[in-house]
Amino acid sequence: MEHHHHPQPQTQQQQVHDHTNPPMGHAGHDHHAMMIDDFRKRFFVVLILTIPVMLLSEMIQHWLNIHISFPGSDYVLFSLSSIVFFYGGWPFLKGWGNEMKARNPGMMTLVGFAITVAYVYSVVTVFGLNGMDFFWELATLILIMLLGHWIEMKSIAGASKELELLVRLMPDDAHLVHGHHVMDVKTETLKENDVILVKPGEKIAADGVIVDGQSYLNESLLTGESKPVEKSKGDKVIAGSINGNGAIKISVLHGAKDSYLSQVIKLVQDAQQSRSRTQLLADTAARWLTLIAIAAGIATFLAWYLSGKDLAFAIERMVTVIVICCPHALGLAVPLVVAKSTALSAKNGLLIKNRTAFENSRKITTLVFDKTGTLTYGKFEVTKIVALQEGVSENELLRLAAALEQNSEHPIATGIIQKVKDLSLQVPAAQNFNAITGKGVEATVEGKQVKVVSPGFLKENNISLPGNFRPDAAETTVFVIVDSTPAGYISLADKIRPESADAIRTLHTIGIKSILLTGDNKQVAESVSKQLGIDKYYAEVLPHQKLEKIKEIQGKGEFVAMTGDGVNDAPALAQADIGIAVGSGSDIAAETAAIVLVNSNPRDIANLVMFGKSTYKKMVQNLAWATGYNVIALPLAAGVLYGSGILLSPATGAVLMSVSTVVVAINASLLKVKQ
């Protein structure tokens, strides 16, 4: 799976239109706003000039049955039209030049070419050629093209607004604690280990750890999690979350540009710019359409001219065909949906790193879940402690187990340590620590050889299980062996998340099979599967076998998405057609995954698949609309129905083109994440 972190080669739409690139950060945003203003200004100037141009045109006078003529009126018309052409048409002429330089004819080439032909022909009629000038058509054409661009850029700005909102989550100022006094500083000047004060209701300015105070934090904009989360001393906080009712002091973990929020913004920008297969398809289509437009324009001109129509009529048909054929809607069909969907996802706690993978999420047939931390809370709690040896108390068992587990990150270890903390027991030190792969750990504690191992280890070493030991399907048990005799066992269980069953049900309704892939024993896997209605489970799978299992499922022709939260899932995530990393913000570096779910909520996975489907649907709708429109409008512009009295003027062509672009923009903005 490749990642789009390197700059992409620029394609047609990007080079030509600064505005199809969603605005980036504040600088990009300002540039974008300036362009919108520029088009607006040009539009109004051209609008004012178009009125006298139309009143001075013979054709319009003929229709309105009025007659305005004075010595030199032709030259006045010519002068006004020249201003319209050079001032109003400038963005298009400039764009045409850029496209030619890049040897990449597109949208601007078509418009530039069309208005130039109309202008040059009309000028020639003023200075002697017999024929009717096109000035009013030229003016209305430029007017409508400017209007279309202006509206379209506004809607693109809308699609990127969500990204702007993310940027704005970062407060500008922070209260830096300096000895006994507090001073306000700019957020970007914060560095590691600074201590900042966050008052109730304020936004947190930097990722950090609470050193003083406690409060409830609203992280919903970052994680999509609506319930405020209780945080107290020692807890991590994310920049951009909103502080609740308590004042807290935070020790800053890193500068602003490394914060979780900045990484999210960067990911969103990368994803908005990375081009998926659908986008490349649309780009290719737009390029072809440009060539077709020019060819069709010339063919139309020749057909009418050679069939005996006058030059003016033939040129007008050519201009209309070229304008109507502008692949503008096509060029925007996908980028607008991309900009909208990426930013929306980020707000809902779905971070898309690889666009193609996200668009492919509609093809998923099987979702493979890693149980721990995804379908369950991933927090093991001690459910029972059984001592098997005389003179060894339950607390003693816990102490010895904790001695071995105190440096481990394993969920079972965390569960045991938590229990020891709850009972406030002293944990002894361990020497000669050694891990028994996949089976447990051993060490010397207070002069005794202690092992904490799985039941499988006992079987392999022919140590008989105690008579009163009844394995419980939903529990995981570890045995504590002291000097090679079992001293007792500790059972732990992992609670299932309440949203899991709901998520699996949703997936079933959209025809996606679920598979549980876990390192846990068969009984646990079976009981979890039964409870949740999962189709199939594979238990006791070691990390390196996860990858093999994914291959095996793919071998049956399934399109597999895998969710996982641990380092051990990385190879499998990379092997899956779509890797979805689940887990808290700090694990944003789940590098192998194409999509990161900020929350570990399995509902999000179902939402992701549905959102992938609706995003793809929007793209297809847009592409179908943009193509279908051209298929119908082109022949009309060429004058196929001229005999029946239907003929499109260049201005009508421009209106249709602009409308089709705006339809595409509005359709993209209707995209929503279903919760």
| Residue 280 pLDDT greater than 60, yes or no | yes
Query: Per the domain annotation, does 33 fall within a domain?
Result: yes
Ramachandran quadrant class, 643 (left: phi over 0; alpha: psi -120 to 50; beta: rest): alpha
Amino acid at 84: V
Instruction: Show which of 583, 605, 627 is a domain's final residue.
Output: 605
How far is residue 606's CA from residue 480's CA, in Å, rounded to a whole number? 40
CB 169 within 8 A of CB 220: no
- Look at residue 612 and tell me if it is in a domain: no
The 10s digit of each residue's pLDDT in 4-24 is 444 333 333 333 333 334 334
Instruction: Tell me, yes or no, whether 154 and 298 share the same domain.
Output: yes
* Residues with Cβ within 8 Å of residue 159, at least 6 apart in sequence: 22, 336, 339, 340, 343, 665, 668, 669
* DSSP conformation letters of 546-601: HHHHHHHHHHTT--EEEEE-SGGGHHHHHHSSEEEEES-GGGGG-TT-SEEESS--
Question: Are 32 and 114 in the same domain?
Answer: yes
Same domain as 583, residue 569: yes
Q: Average pLDDT of the chain?
A: 80
28 belongs to a structural domain: yes
Structural domain contains residue 485 = yes
If asked whether residues 140 and 183 sit together in one domain, one would say no
Tell me if the pTM is above 0.85: no
In the listed set 234, 258, 282, which residue is the last one of a domain according to the structure?
A: 258
> What CA–CA distance (Å, rounded) separates 222 from 484?
50
Q: Which among 2-6, 308-312, 452-456, 510-514 has the top mean pLDDT?
A: 510-514
CA distance 608 to 552: 24
Q: 245 and 216 in contact (C-beta within 8 Å)? A: yes
Residue 460: is it exposed, middle or buried by C-beta count within 10 angstroms (0-12/13-18/19+)? exposed
Q: Choose the final residue of a domain: 605, 634, 654.
A: 605
Q: Could you tell me which of 497, 536, 524 has the C-alpha nearest to residue 366? A: 536
CB 162 within 8 A of CB 343: yes
Mean pLDDT of 175-198: 88
Distance (Å, rounded) from C-alpha 343 to C-alpha 169?
13
CATH number of the domain residue 421 falls in: 3.40.1110.10
Number of domains observed in the structure of the chain: 4
Same domain as 117, residue 42:
yes
pLDDT tier at 90 (50, 70, 90 boundaries)?
very high
- Both tokens of 353, joined, read 């790193």
Same domain, 29 and 129: yes
At 470-507, the pLDDT tens digits run 767 667 788 888 888 888 888 887 778 888 889 899 99
Give the CATH number of the domain where residue 567 resides.
Answer: 3.40.50.1000
Percentage of the chain modeled with pLDDT above 70: 85
Q: Say if residue 336 is in the same domain as residue 359.
A: no
> Is 453 in the same domain as 522?
no
Say whether both 100 and 145 belong to one domain. yes
Indicate whether 503 and 380 sit together in one domain.
no
Range list of H helices, 9-134:
12-16, 25-55, 58-64, 73-83, 90-101, 107-126
The pLDDT tens digits for 553-612 are: 999 999 999 987 655 677 788 888 998 887 653 344 456 678 888 777 888 888 888 898
Question: What is the rounded CA–CA span in Å between residue 253 and residue 237?
Answer: 10
Would residue 332 count as lying in a domain?
A: yes
Phi-psi region of 98 (alpha: psi -120 to 50; beta: other; left: phi over 0): alpha
Q: How far is CA 311 from CA 131, 293, 314, 635, in A?
A: 8, 20, 5, 19
How high is the pLDDT of residue 292? Answer: 85
Q: Is residue 5 part of a domain?
A: no
> Which pLDDT score, from 0 to 100, does residue 521 have?
75
Query: 426-445 pLDDT, tens per residue?
Result: 888 888 888 776 678 888 88
Q: How many helices and strands, by DSSP H and E, does the chain display?
A: 23, 22
Give the pLDDT confidence score for residue 24 in this predicted structure: 42
Per residue in 579-595, pLDDT tens? Answer: 888 765 334 445 667 88
209: CATH: 2.70.150.10
The residues annotated with a catalytic role in the active site are 370
Q: Is residue 3 part of a domain?
A: no
Quote the domain boundaries for residue 598: 342-375+497-605
In a domain, 34, yes or no: yes
Q: Residues for the chain: how many in total? A: 675
pLDDT 10s digits, 113-158? 888 888 888 888 888 766 667 788 788 888 877 887 787 677 666 5
The Cα–Cα gap between 289 and 292 comes to 5
Verify that 137 and 243 share a domain, yes or no: no
DSSP for 223-273?
Answer: H---S-EEE-TT-EE-TT-EE-SS-EEEEE-S-GGGSHHHHHHHHHHHHHH
Q: Enter the tokens of residue 324.
A: 């109507």
**How many of the other CB atoms lie within 10 Å of CB of 63?**
10
The full DSSP string for 310-345 is -HHHHHHHHHHHHHHT-THHHHHHHHHHHHHHHHHH
Rg of the chain in Å (alpha carbons): 34
Question: Quick one: pLDDT at residue 163?
Answer: 61
Domain co-membership, 466 together with 490: yes
